[in-house]
Chains A and B, each alone.
Chain A
Amino acid sequence: MTFSRDTALGLFAMALAGAYLGAGAGIPESLLSDSVGANGVPRVIGYGLATVGLVLAARSLWRPASTDEDDNPAGALARAVGLLAILVGYLVIVERVGYPVSVALLIAASAAYAGAKPDARLAAAAIGGAALFWLMFGKLLGIPLPGGIFG
């Protein structure tokens, strides 16, 4: 028996199904409810997911797939986490700092993180891009964007 990615996926599916069924058990009953109930369909989905996860995990233990290799090394995961951190950073500051500044920072940070040189071209792209998006969404489409430090 070998523990593979499919085994991990199967076990994860079972755990997710368990958490989902657990959360579903807390759905309040209503006097307006029908014969199926608010938790009826979620129960079917949860048990369905658990069953498929179990079959996948069992199959991968007894009959491991021949191409079950990790072609995505840990370095790639770290790079992805770094980019995600930049996006979360944008999410945290956009309301406080305001849209134009935040989106300029997002463009500059993510481009630099992806390999752009921190030079005048990058600064121009960040400022120009922020202005373009602000004009397009804020002015042309009339969408209220967070003002932040600009009120």
Chain B
Amino acid sequence: MNFEALFASLAGVIWGIFGGALPGISPSIAMALLLPFTYGMEPVSAIVLLASVYVGAEYGGSIPAILIRTPGTNSAAATTIDGYEMARRGKAGEALGISLMCGLVGGLFGLLVLSTATEPLARVALAFTPPAYCALGILGLSVIASLSGGSLLKGLIAAFMGLMVATVGTDPVSGVPRFTFGHAELLGGIRPILVMVGLFAVAEMLEQISSPAWAKADARDTRLKLPGLAMWRRLWKTQVIGCSIGTLEGVTPGAGGTIAAFMAYNEAKRWSKHPEEFGKGSPEGVAAPECANNVVTGTALVPLLSLGIPGSNSAAVLLGGFMIHGLIPGPLLFQKAPEVVYGLYWGLLSANLFMVLVGLVILNPCIWLVNRPKPYLIAFILALVCTGVYAIDQSLFDLGLVLGAGVVGYAMRRFGVPVLPMVLGVVLGFLVESNYRRSLVLSGGDHAVFMQDPVALGLLAVAFVLTAYSLMREFRTK
């Protein structure tokens, strides 16, 4: 790996963290914005630059999630639960430290999997048929019970509301418009990030406007705090969970970091010695999703490199980067341009290390920023939200949707309805419905297709066991 590629890695991480931290700039947008600059670059440097943006953006999304309850990316939504609670309790520095170091562990593990197990894992990706994708979405929805905050009925109401939002737009099979009410802007559906920004950030500001001023933070609480030995001991099991789930979800095209983060959060809670702390500022609640979504930055490249299948928007932009330089990802890439593949591995390694270095430099100023006087902080968060949302599609209609979601989020708080099941419904609704119906089209309407596909059957069985276990625990604690 030459100096140019190393510099590209550093620049990519900085740009990625910056983009990921801005609501509205997704990892794929941050990558796409740099795509034109890669034309004149060496192929290795170009690919390393784009992959480093991806690594940086996935991490950057968690910074506003922890500090201002605004996930910068979809996959950072699960981090808001305990990250923001830790910040509210004066532990923002500790939460950011855990997020940074668990992100590093996840990123390095993902790279290890990518570089050693690409070929066998590619077969897993190929085994995913529409019934399996549908079952994967149902598995994701099975965590609703444990995200319901003690009221399963209210959690279900939220989840159904999320699923309702996911049905807005063009029907995935017949192409007819549904619930668009004549608005062309709704034909493509409602982006999950719009709902999340409204439910989390706008609703929080509506709540904060009538709350008393924040107490002045202690100087020790406003500094980044990396996890010590005792914390690492506490988090090891969580990280094993994050790494396992991140690997499975990452190699599955279309699954992605969001499902991985929520499932890792759920499993970390299930296996924790302190499940009662989850939702109230648990360090494990930050570590699990951060580890999982950073594993995905490596493992999501498995189907791209081995089969040429871009499993996510970010992988699709990376595929564009390969094609600009006349490279076609797939089995032949390892023979025709091994220097690019190995350069990418080294680039991902340096990107993860640079992520920590850059994080150490920028996190203290970020913590300082959120400890400014409350009126100014509210004003700047709202300006950031309004600008970031507009940046997605240059649409004021989207901003209206975000304000609407903010009102819904505020009302849900007043009625004690948890918002996370709604987020899960919005994220997974389309995946479940489109693949359920595709499966039935392929089987001629026979539901037995879900029992005949071994992957689907396995995932449905796991979903059933997880749901039954969560329900039993819910009823036992009442």
CA A112 – CA B376 in complex, angstroms?
9
**Cβ B436 vs Cβ A38 within 8 A:** no
Q: Hey, what's the 0/1 contact readout for A1-44 against B, CB within 8 Å counting as 1?
A: 00001101100010011001001100111101111111111100
Answer whether A45 and B160 are a contact pair too, CB < 8 Å, given A28-B176, A116-B373.
yes
Which residue from chain A places its CB closest to the CB of B206 in the assembled complex?
A80
Q: Report the separation of the CA atoms of residues A20 and B181 in the bound assembly, to the nearest whole angstrom.
A: 12
Contact (Cβ within 8 A) B205 A83: yes
B33 contacts A by Cβ under 8 Å: yes
CB pair B386–A87 under 8 Å, yes or no, is: yes
Contact (A56, B153) CB under 8 Å given A32-B173, A36-B437:
yes
Given contacts A49-B164, A87-B403, contact A32 B379 (CB under 8 A): no
Contact of B153 among A46, A52, A87, A106 (CB under 8 A): A52
With both beta carbons as reference points, the residue of chain A lying nearest to B167 in the complex is identified as A42
> B440 touches which one: A34, A115, A137 (CB < 8 A)?
A34
- Indicate whether A30 sits within 8 Å of B175 (C-beta atoms), given known contacts A49-B160, A72-B414, A141-B391: yes
Please state if A110 and B382 are interface contacts (CB–CB under 8 Å). Answer: yes
Q: B417 is contacted by which of A9, A20, A45 (Cβ under 8 Å)?
A: A9
Are A88's CB and B403's CB within 8 A?
A: yes
Complex contacts, B457 vs chain A, CB 8 Å = none
Q: Hey, what's the 0/1 contact readout for A77-95 against B, CB within 8 Å counting as 1?
A: 1011011100110110011
A34-B440, A36-B440 known; A45 vs B167 contact (CB < 8 Å): yes
Are A32 and B380 in touch, CB under 8 angstroms?
A: no
Q: How far is the CA of A145 from the CA of B394 in the complex (A)?
A: 7
Tell me if A107 counts as interface (CB < 8 A to partner B). yes
Q: How distant is A7 from chain B, measured CB to nearest CB, in Å? A: 11
Q: Is the CB of B154 within 8 A of A56?
A: yes
Of the listed stretches B41-49, B53-61, B207-215, B274-282, chain A binds: B207-215
The reply to whether B380 and A107 contact each other, CB–CB distance below 8 Å, is: yes
Given A9-B417, A38-B173, A143 contacting B391 (CB threshold 8 A): yes
Q: Does B462 contact A (CB under 8 A)?
A: no
Which interface residue of A28, A72, A87 has the most chain B CB atoms within 10 A? A87
Interface residue range, chain A: 35 or more
Task: Let me know if B160 and A41 touch, CB within 8 A.
Answer: no
Cα separation A75 to B206 with both chains bound (whole Å): 12
Contact of A111 with B by CB under 8 A: yes
Say which residue of B22, B173, B379, B417 sits within 8 Å of A107 (CB atoms). B379
- A52 to B416 Cα, complex, angstroms: 15
Contact check: which of A32, A41, A42, A115 meets B174 at CB < 8 Å? A32
Residue of chain A at shortest CB distance from B379? A111
Residue of B nearest to A134 (CB): B387
B407 interfacial by beta-carbon distance below 8 Å: yes
Known: A38-B174, A141-B33. A110 touches B210 (CB 8 A): no
Q: Which residues of A contact B399 (CB under 8 A)?
A: 91
* Chain B residues whose C-beta falls within 8 Å of the C-beta of A151 in the assembled complex: none
Report the minimal beta-carbon distance from A32 to chain B, rounded to whole angstroms: 4
Q: Are A20 and B164 in contact, with the CB atoms below 8 A? A: yes
Known: A106-B379, A110-B382. A91 touches B207 (CB 8 A): no
- What mask results when residues 42 to 59 of chain A are scored 1 for a CB within 8 Å of chain B, else 0? 100110110011011001
How distant is the Cα of A131 from the Cα of B380 in the complex, in angstroms? Answer: 12
Which B residues lie within 8 Å of A13 (CB)? Answer: 157, 160
Distance of B211 from chain A, by nearest CB (Å): 8
> Given known contacts A95-B396, A103-B387, is B209 in contact with A82 (CB within 8 Å)?
yes
Decide yes or no whether B454 CB sits under 8 A from chain A: no
Are B445 and A35 within 8 A (Cβ)?
A: yes
Closest to A42 in B: B167
Name the A residues within 8 Å of B375 (CB-CB). 110-116
Contact B440 A84 (CB under 8 A): no
**A98 located at the interface, meaning its Cβ lies under 8 Å from any Cβ of chain B in the complex:** no
Inter-chain contact A8/B396, CB cutoff 8 Å: no
Select one of A40, A79, A116, A141 contacting B210, CB under 8 A. A79
State the Cβ distance, B163 to closest chain A Cβ, in Å. Answer: 5
Q: For B391, give the chain A residue with the smallest CB separation.
A: A143
- When A87-B382, A87-B403, A114-B209 are in contact, do A30 and B176 touch as well, CB less than 8 Å? yes
Contacts of B161 in A (CB 8 A): 16, 49
| A123 interfacial contact with B, CB 8 Å | no
CA–CA, A45 to B168, complex, Å? 13
- Is the C-beta of B384 less than 8 angstroms from some C-beta in chain A? yes
B210, B394, B403, B437: the one contacting A144 at CB < 8 Å is: B394
Bound Cα distance from A9 to B315, whole angstroms? 42
Q: What are 19 of the A-B contact pairs (CB < 8 Å)?
A: A16-B161, A20-B164, A24-B178, A33-B174, A37-B174, A38-B171, A49-B161, A79-B209, A80-B206, A80-B410, A91-B399, A94-B386, A99-B387, A103-B387, A106-B382, A107-B379, A111-B379, A129-B380, A143-B391
* Leading 8 A-B pairs by shortest Cβ distance: A114-B375, A111-B379, A30-B174, A76-B210, A116-B375, A79-B210, A49-B160, A38-B171
- Supply 16 further A-B pairs (C-beta < 8 A) apart from A56-B154, A114-B209: A6-B415, A17-B160, A20-B164, A23-B179, A28-B176, A32-B175, A33-B176, A41-B433, A41-B437, A45-B163, A52-B153, A91-B396, A103-B383, A114-B379, A137-B388, A137-B391
Mark A residues whose CB is within 8 Å of B: 5-6, 8-9, 13, 16-17, 20, 23-24, 27-30, 32-42, 45-46, 48-49, 52-53, 55-56, 59, 70, 72, 75-77, 79-80, 82-84, 87-88, 90-91, 94-95, 99, 103, 106-108, 110-116, 125-126, 129-130, 133, 136-137, 141-145
